[in-house]
Chains A and B, each alone.
Chain A
């Protein structure tokens, strides 16, 4: 089973709203990732959690706030977003490359976010 589950599948929010994206995996993976993908572009890394600690923040604006409550769950809290933040947000997980393991990342289906 290589399933990463993301909810919701679609989200429409106004620029003053607060919302959260959720991601869950039960593969025992210790690394989890948030990506942003725009049309016709590759996934763009936002955050990496390794063993429930934030290890990489790719200079993402503070209106995006990640949270890793436990090793199976990853959230992305959204506040005061801009229309240009509209994109497909992808969650991924892997065994964790920093322990000498190969970094095969398994992706969820994504949340299609529209900011009005």
Chain B
């Protein structure tokens, strides 16, 4: 049972345009959500997070939106740059839980 789903295995976006990565979850106990970026042969790098008491969090070019009623979150990257090409993982946790539940990842490719 996949509690966190990233339904798009890959996404291709032109440089300078907006990249939108999506994530859905099923567990109502999740109240904190994170996005990680991963280059090949490296560990995941924390990008941005959002608490369930908010519906938006912004950090530079990265914005995460949370729709609790739809159990859906998205990561917007604008403008997209070649260095953004990587695999992006969505993750979720419940209050007090030590485990992060990861989605399967979306490979983002930024084309010049």
Chain A interface (Cβ within 8 Å of chain B)?
A: 2, 4, 6, 31, 40-43, 45, 48, 50, 55-56, 88, 90, 92, 96-98, 100, 102-110, 112
Contact = CB atoms under 8 A, between A and B. Distances in A.
Describe B's contact surface by its main secondary structure.
loop
Contacts of B97: 97, 103
Interface in B88-112: 89, 93, 95-100, 102-105
Interface size class of B (residues with CB under 8 A): 20 to 34
B93 A97 contact: yes
Contacts, number: 63
Contacts of A50: 98
29 contacts: A4-B43, A42-B102, A42-B103, A43-B44, A43-B89, A45-B100, A56-B98, A88-B41, A90-B44, A92-B43, A96-B98, A97-B93, A97-B98, A98-B96, A98-B98, A100-B95, A102-B32, A102-B49, A102-B51, A104-B46, A105-B100, A107-B45, A107-B46, A108-B43, A109-B42, A110-B41, A110-B42, A110-B43, A112-B41
